[in-house]
């Protein structure tokens, strides 16, 4: 089984050449010291950790899994040592607020590190991203007292974080939650209720776990408007950020037995008069939690993409070495009994599809992460607001489309190996199992599609899509007159035309038929995802051709390979836009015709 290799060359090409992140960071005072030299050094080191620390305990962690004993969770062998090294390296506070001991690095940088970590060991990566999301939410919405007391230890990695949303009867519909928060005289609250599917809710990696919990006061308004957010520590903490030794009223009741990510504990958490502290304003908990949710949803797309990259590495190496059959044009290795798998067009179809989607997904994730950084750091309020609007459109697509393509890519890579792909030895069956959850958690992909179609498109009357169109128009205008790019521009035009037509169709039809929104939502998300991947590939192709046109172009063979993969994507994937448009325009009638009792 090939060892995981961090895709540093791809990452540096995208970050520094395609997106010129160096210039963007330099334009924002909070990130002006973040340059290409610094990011390259950090990414190189993160790649070494993924390769040398996380990947070696990935398969063993899956086989051993987490164990639940008397209310405690024991992580697999090697996880405690790996986490200690991760915390000692300062990685937990990479994007943290410098006021409280964080390093203030941009999300774009941590996103790329997350992708490598997910590729190497998805179960371990989940411990990391939950703490990052929790600290971000606390830093943006918590009081100065809470930030001072909890953030430094979380940035050190001494304490970890979670988010506690889902309840046994309330998944996506959080307005139905029953967890209650009763005010105390000292300003704290007593929380009682049960939360399920809580990643890293209990474990033995850190000395304390800080839960961010959604709950309602007894007199809160009904539905989502009555939800508040609370910080609930596992072990109580004094004013000096030291553990008091007093165990709070929060316990893990059990852990789930799952299809994948078995080395990450998915917990049932019981809150029994647990002391908590309000984060932000009363009855604004859902909006506060969405700070964390947007980052976590981006991370899920990165999980899908990382596992797809890991799967591609295994499958491409296998296809180069495994000999089966003969090339359709005649034997390429007549001295051998057979030719390598790569001579077969269908094997190439599988591998090229995976590689093209991995590169486009990584590119889209960087594009979305850069918008998150602009919304957080840019000194111009109008620029920040524009970035926030773009984020609201991009995140549901990036989460859903990247995880769909990620799972699909793992299955395709598994197919390359045939029977070997189905057995545990090669690791691809674990990738398939681990990738599957990314389509479900942090809002299942159908919910993401409905959010995109309903709130972000129909209710916004296409305003957010217009902002994305401006981005694309600006790029196309830059390519006017660039001879090498002219053969590619029609592909983007085809996608955008289909997307525009689909948008107008749904906005018009939904006025008289509300079911049209849900009927069209998934195909619409797929169409927008395909359009964004096409746009990402055109940006990569423009950069590659620009580099190749220079006399001293470095990595010419690498750039040539990018051009060939991009041309494959435009030729073989973009035509799917028309079938997605046809699906949308088929309307809701056939979906809604079957009575419930006929299912």
Whether residues 454 and 584 fall in one domain:
yes
- How large is the average pLDDT for residues 259-287? 97
DSSP-derived secondary structure for 477-504: HHHTT-GGGHHHHHHHHHHHHHHHHHHH
Angle at 369 between CA 153 and CA 282, to 5 degrees: 55
Measured over the CA atoms of residue 442, residue 447, residue 453 and residue 459, the dihedral's sign is: negative
Please report the pLDDT score of residue 208 as a whole number. Answer: 98
Whether residues 440 and 452 fall in one domain:
no
Whether residues 526 and 585 fall in one domain:
yes
Whether residues 441 and 293 fall in one domain:
yes
- How large is the average pLDDT for residues 351-371? 98
pLDDT over 70 at 286, yes or no: yes
Residue 467 CA to residue 470 CA, distance in Å, equals 5
DSSP-derived secondary structure for 26-45: HTSGGGTT--HHHHHHHHHH
Whether residues 424 and 485 fall in one domain:
no
Specify the CATH number for the domain of residue 357: 1.20.140.10
Q: What is the pLDDT of residues 532-562, one digit of tens each?
A: 999 999 999 999 999 998 876 779 999 999 9
Asked if residue 533 is part of any domain, the answer here is yes
Q: Domain span at residue 365?
A: 289-445
Last residue of a domain, one of 445, 475, 494: 445
Site of tokens 């964004």: 532
Q: Number of folded domains in the chain?
A: 2
Last residue of a domain, one of 399, 428, 445: 445
Residue 454 CA to residue 407 CA, distance in Å, equals 25
Last residue of a domain, one of 402, 430, 445: 445
Q: What is the DSSP letter of 98?
A: G
**Cα atoms found within 13 Å of the Cα of residue 226, Cβ hemisphere only:** 15
Mean pLDDT of the chain: 96
Residue 257 CA to residue 35 CA, distance in Å, equals 44
Asked if residue 235 is part of any domain, the answer here is no
pLDDT over 90 at 79, yes or no: yes
Asked if residue 57 is part of any domain, the answer here is no
Whether residues 434 and 453 fall in one domain:
no
pLDDT over 70 at 94, yes or no: yes
Contact 357, 308 (CB under 8 A): yes
**CA-closest candidate to residue 358, choices 113, 108, 119, 18:** 119
Contact 146, 100 (CB under 8 A): no
Whether residues 402 and 473 fall in one domain:
no
Whether residues 481 and 581 fall in one domain:
yes
Whether residues 372 and 306 fall in one domain:
yes
Phi then psi dihedrals of residue 222, to 5 deg: -70, 155
Residue 443 CA to residue 297 CA, distance in Å, equals 8
Q: What is the pLDDT of residues 98-152, one digit of tens each?
A: 999 999 999 999 999 999 999 999 999 999 999 999 999 999 999 999 999 999 9
Asked if residue 374 is part of any domain, the answer here is yes
Whether residues 296 and 330 fall in one domain:
yes
DSSP-derived secondary structure for 108-148: HHHHHHHHHHHHH-HHHHHHHHHHHHHHHHHHHHS-HHHHH
Q: What is the pLDDT of residues 19-66, one digit of tens each?
A: 999 999 999 999 999 999 999 999 999 999 999 999 999 999 999 999
Q: What is the pLDDT of residues 461-482, one digit of tens each?
A: 999 999 999 999 999 999 998 9
Whether residues 521 and 567 fall in one domain:
yes
Q: What residues act catalytically?
A: 442
Asked if residue 439 is part of any domain, the answer here is yes
Whether residues 464 and 369 fall in one domain:
no
Reduce the DSSP state of residue 207 to 3 states and report it: coil
């Amino acid at each position: 089984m090939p060892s995981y290799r961090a895709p540093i060359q791809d990452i540096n090409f995208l970050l520094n050449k395609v997106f010129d992140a160096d210039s963007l960071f330099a334009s924002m005072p909070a990130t002006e010291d973040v340059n290409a030299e610094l990011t390259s050094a950090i990414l190189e080191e993160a790649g070494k950790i993924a390769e040398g620390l996380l990947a070696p305990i990935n398969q063993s962690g899956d086989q051993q899994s987490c164990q639940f004993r008397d209310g405690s969770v024991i992580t697999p062998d090697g996880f405690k040592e790996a986490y200690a090294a991760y915390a000692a390296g300062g990685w937990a506070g990479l994007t943290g607020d410098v006021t409280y001991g964080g390093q203030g690095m941009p999300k774009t940088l941590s996103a790329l590190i997350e992708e490598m970590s997910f590729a190497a060991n998805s179960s371990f990566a989940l411990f990391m991203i939950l703490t990052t999301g929790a600290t971000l939410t606390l830093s943006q919405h918590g009081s100065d007292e809470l930030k001072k007391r909890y953030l430094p230890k979380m940035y050190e990695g001494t304490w970890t974080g979670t988010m506690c949303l889902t309840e046994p009867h309330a998944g996506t519909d959080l307005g139905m939650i029953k967890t209650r928060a009763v005010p105390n005289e000292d300003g704290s609250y007593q929380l009682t209720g049960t939360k399920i599917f809580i990643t890293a809710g209990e474990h033995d990696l850190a000395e304390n776990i800080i839960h961010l919990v959604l709950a309602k006061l007894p007199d809160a308004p009904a539905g989502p408007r009555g939800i508040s957010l609370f910080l609930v520590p596992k072990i109580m903490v004094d004013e000096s950020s030291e553990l008091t030794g007093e165990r709070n009223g929060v316990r893990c009741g059990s852990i789930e037995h799952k299809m994948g990510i078995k080395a990450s504990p998915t917990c049932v958490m019981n809150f029994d008069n647990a002391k908590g502290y309000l984060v932000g304003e009363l009855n604004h908990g859902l909006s506060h939690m969405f700070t964390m949710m947007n980052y976590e949803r981006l991370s899920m797309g990165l999980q899908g993409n990382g596992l797809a990259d890991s799967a591609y590495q295994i499958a491409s190496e296998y296809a180069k070495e495994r000999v089966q059959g003969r090339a359709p044009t005649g034997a390429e290795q007549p001295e051998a009994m057979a030719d390598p798998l790569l001579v077969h067009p269908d094997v190439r179809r599988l591998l090229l599809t995976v590689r093209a989607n991995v590169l486009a997904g990584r590119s889209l994730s960087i594009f979305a992460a850069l918008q998150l950084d602009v919304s957080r750091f840019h000194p111009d309020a109008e620029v920040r607001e524009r970035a926030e609007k773009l984020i609201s459109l991009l995140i549901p697509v990036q989460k859903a489309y990247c995880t769909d393509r990620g799972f699909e890519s793992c299955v395709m890579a598994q197919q390359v190996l045939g029977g070997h792909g189905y057995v545990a030895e090669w690791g691809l069956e674990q990738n398939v199992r681990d990738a599957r959850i990314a389509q479900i958690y942090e809002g299942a992909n159908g919910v993401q599609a409905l959010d995109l179609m309903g709130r972000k498109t129909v209710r916004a009357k296409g305003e957010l899509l217009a902002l994305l169109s401006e981005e694309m128009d600006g790029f196309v205008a830059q390519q006017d007159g660039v001879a090498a790019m002219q053969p590619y521009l029609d592909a983007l035009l085809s996608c955008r035309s289909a997307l525009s037509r689909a948008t107008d169709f749904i906005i018009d039809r939904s006025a008289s038929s509300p079911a049209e929104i849900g009927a069209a939502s998934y195909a619409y998300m797929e169409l927008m995802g395909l359009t964004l991947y096409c746009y990402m590939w055109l940006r990569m192709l423009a950069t590659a051709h620009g580099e190749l046109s220079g006399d001293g172009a470095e990595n010419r063979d690498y750039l040539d390979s990018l051009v060939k993969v991009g041309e494959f994507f435009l030729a073989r994937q973009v035509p799917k836009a028309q079938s997605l448009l046809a699906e949308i325009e088929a309307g809701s009638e056939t979906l809604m015709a079957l009575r419930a009792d006929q299912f």
